Amino acid sequence: MSSKGRIIINTGDGKGKTTAALGLAFRALGHGHRVCVIQFLKGKGDYGERLFGNTLENLEWHICGKGFVFKKQDITADREIAGQGFQLAKEKIESNHFDLVILDEITYLTLYQFLEVEAIVEVLKKKPERLSVVLTGRSADEALIEIADTVTSMDVVKHAFTQGIKAQKGIEY
């Protein structure tokens, strides 16, 4: 068994990127590993995973966002929060305290040009050897895919939402 940490990306337009990352957190926690989740660009909603996450030992959970970024009038505030979130991610990675760090929805930082992808690549290249990092979000940058060990693309075959079914508690949040 190799103790060298991995860089894992869950990308694509289909459902399952965040929940797969959290499945991995579940697995790591079961072995007594220390896990840090940092969520970018999402509001402080009643997400079931956060409510549960807050009850778990060995799991640290940070939210760096204030709702969806598409509201253009808020773009400056979003940029500032995104920058602070990335700084936090960098600190948590460099701390050498964790076995697994999950950067949920981080791909949007470069997609919306809040951050140069090189900044993320640099932090990942210098990560502690044993640390695994999961990055999630649609349209993962080529530069991230290049340095990753494992990349999975979730494809939409069907999604309830496009059939007019609303987001459901316990399934979508």
Binding site for ligand ATP (CB under 6 A): 13-19, 105, 136, 154, 156, 159, 161, 167, 172-173
Q: What b/e readout covers 126-153, taking b as 16+ CB neighbours within 10 angstroms?
A: ebeeebbbbbbbbebbeebeeebeebee
Window contacting Mg ion (CB under 5 A); options: 16-24, 60-68, 74-82, 118-126: 16-24
Q: How far is the CB of 162 from ligand ATP (least distance, A)?
A: 6
Q: What b/e readout covers 11-21, taking b as 16+ CB neighbours within 10 angstroms?
A: bbeebebbeeb
Q: How far is the CB of 94 from ligand ATP (least distance, A)?
A: 26
Going from the C-alpha of 12 to that of each of 30, 57, 66, 72, the distances in angstroms are: 28, 31, 23, 24
Q: Report the residue number, 112 or 128, with the smaller CB distance to Mg ion.
A: 112
Tokens describing residue 146? 């290049």
Window contacting Mg ion (CB under 5 A); options: 10-18, 27-35, 49-57, 116-124: 10-18
Q: Which residue among 5, 9, 12, 17 contacts Mg ion (CB under 5 A)?
A: 17
Residues that bind Mg ion (CB under 5 A): 17-18
